[in-house]
Chains A and B, each alone.
Chain A
Amino acid sequence: MHAWVIWLIAAGILLVFEMMTLTFYLLWLSLGAAVAAIIALIAPEGILLQVSVGCLVALVLTFFSKPLVKRLRASKGFQDIGTELVGKQGVVVEPIEPGQFGIVKIGGDTWSATSFEALRKDELVRVMKRGSTIIEVQRWEEII
């Protein structure tokens, strides 16, 4: 069997696996194998040349995928409810004393909250800052 056929088969198998798993590094390897197949067609005897060129192409492609990554970054994915809490409106469920924690309900979720001022029950508040589990709130009217 010719060397280029083997390379091509390898490229095809890698491509199929890449399509099934979507990990991206198999794609670069598959493209490397395809380039090696072209080299094998030109120089069937230089097996080391084929391998090194194929590997080089794969590595170069990997490093050139950085701009691609940047472009993909821009597109937004699923946004967690918790991540966009700042600026939202909530209702005080348990009164907040300065320096103590109360409970604020924001869209069906209850959060522990602190504030610099005392807030009574059923007051509207705005989320100012978010820690990992505790949020900081202010009275709603003051900001507008």
Chain B
Amino acid sequence: MQWAIIVIVLLVVVVFISLTVKVVPQQRVGVVERLGKFHRLLTPGLNILIPVIDQVRINHDLRIQQANVPPQTVITKDNVQVQIDTIIFYQVVGPEQATYGISDYVYGVRNISTATMRQIIGKLELDETLSGREKISTEIRVALDEATEKWGVRIERVEVIDIKPPLDIQESMDKQMKAERNKRAIVLEAEAAKQDMILRAEGDKQSKILKAEGDKEARIREAEGLRQAQELEALGEAAAIKSVAEAEKARIEFLATSGLTEEILAYRSFEALTEVAKGPANKVFIPSNAIETLGSLGAIAEVFKSGKDLKK
């Protein structure tokens, strides 16, 4: 009997003290209800409760938590079904609202983010969804904050992990990419060929122009040379004629001054005779006194000849 009392008293005391003293770790918060009504929050550290009257309804973790959303099929504006894989980061910021405002905030957070995501993606075209993750997250921010204000839960961010378009669309996107690259390659090739041709033509043109210019200059120089040579020649000739004329003039003058004698005239006639003899006519009339002179000349020649024979 005595032992039973001891055990009961010990048990009551142990339970009593365990209900009274509560140690709450950091970043956790307990919601205390006094006789069913919200009383206060249990903040981190040592807390004393009145047993039975006070009751801890729920403990909230105040750290940022993650919730994976299973891949969702979403339809974009241009009617393409894409699989979208998101992760949600949320944090309890108002423990009272998180307790009394919503029955299960984790479930609520998950649902509201997928619903918002659908709504936002539904407004975008496929290409925009693939490239505009930044835009998606800002739009989600406003929509979610508005919805979760009453829940005491703040959705830190909704990250799109992966957007998977359907297989056939992915294939056609690949094809498009390939075709685009091919196009670029072909265009580049054509451009190279064009440039090649242009460069060649330009080179050809320049070489031809240079050649023609060279020819032109050569000809001009040649003509100039010819001109100069002819001029010089003409000048020379002129000078020569001039000097001949001068000499003739001087001779005539000289003759005039010396006075024309019979002997000179005879001499001159002889000179003329020899000239005449050289001419093409066969018959030559030689003045008689000229023959006489020739005859005497011939006699002198005979004398010289016989002189030579005698010596032999």
- Residues of A at under 8 Å CB distance from B? 22-25, 28-29, 32, 47-48, 51-52, 55, 58-59, 62-63, 65-66, 68-69, 72-73, 77-78, 80, 82, 93-94, 101-103, 109-112, 131-134
8 Å CB contact of B152 from A25, A110, A132, A134: A132
In B1-40, the 8 Å CB interface with A consists of 2, 5-6, 9-10, 13-14, 16-18, 20-21, 23, 26-27
Cα(A52)–Cα(B152), bound, Å: 47
Residues of B within 8 A of A59 (CB): 13, 16-17
Contact A101 B97 (CB under 8 A): no
Residue B225 at the chain A interface, CB threshold 8 Å: no
> What are 18 pairs between A and B in contact, CB < 8 Å?
A28-B17, A29-B14, A47-B6, A51-B10, A69-B46, A73-B45, A78-B26, A78-B44, A82-B91, A101-B146, A109-B156, A110-B141, A112-B142, A132-B148, A132-B152, A133-B144, A133-B148, A133-B155
Residue B255 at the chain A interface, CB threshold 8 Å: no
Contact A112 B146 (CB under 8 A): yes
Q: Which 10 residue pairs of A and B lie closest in terms of their CB atoms, listed nearest first?
A: A112-B145, A132-B94, A25-B17, A25-B21, A55-B13, A133-B154, A133-B145, A24-B21, A132-B152, A132-B93
User: Nearest Cβ distance between residue B241 and chain A, in whole angstroms?
Assistant: 103
Residue B192 at the chain A interface, CB threshold 8 Å: no
Q: A112-B145, A112-B146, A132-B93 are in contact. Are A80 and B16 (CB under 8 A)?
A: no
Residue B233 at the chain A interface, CB threshold 8 Å: no
8 Å CB contact of B18 from A25, A73, A103: A25
User: Nearest Cβ distance between residue A27 and chain B, in whole angstroms?
Assistant: 9
Q: A22-B23, A77-B45, A134-B149 are in contact. Are A82 and B93 (CB under 8 A)?
A: yes
In B161-183, the 8 Å CB interface with A consists of none
User: Nearest Cβ distance between residue B44 and chain A, in whole angstroms?
Assistant: 5
Q: A23-B23, A24-B46, A62-B21 are in contact. Are A103 and B13 (CB under 8 A)?
A: no
Per-residue 0/1 for B121-153: is the Cβ within 8 Å of any A Cβ (1 yes, 0 no)? 000000000000000001001101110111111
User: Nearest Cβ distance between residue A110 and chain B, in whole angstroms?
Assistant: 6
8 Å CB contact of B149 from A22, A78, A132: A132
Per-residue 0/1 for B260-283: is the Cβ within 8 Å of any A Cβ (1 yes, 0 no)? 000000000000000000000000
Q: A77-B45, A112-B141, A133-B145 are in contact. Are A62 and B6 (CB under 8 A)?
A: no
User: Nearest Cβ distance between residue A109 and chain B, in whole angstroms?
Assistant: 8
Residues of B within 8 A of A66 (CB): 48
Per-residue 0/1 for B45-57: is the Cβ within 8 Å of any A Cβ (1 yes, 0 no)? 1111000000000
Contact A103 B21 (CB under 8 A): no
* Other 19 A-B pairs with CB < 8 A, given A22-B23, A24-B46, A109-B156: A48-B6, A55-B9, A55-B10, A59-B13, A59-B16, A63-B48, A68-B46, A69-B47, A72-B45, A77-B26, A78-B26, A78-B27, A80-B62, A82-B93, A101-B142, A103-B141, A112-B141, A132-B152, A134-B146
In B82-113, the 8 Å CB interface with A consists of 91, 93-94, 97
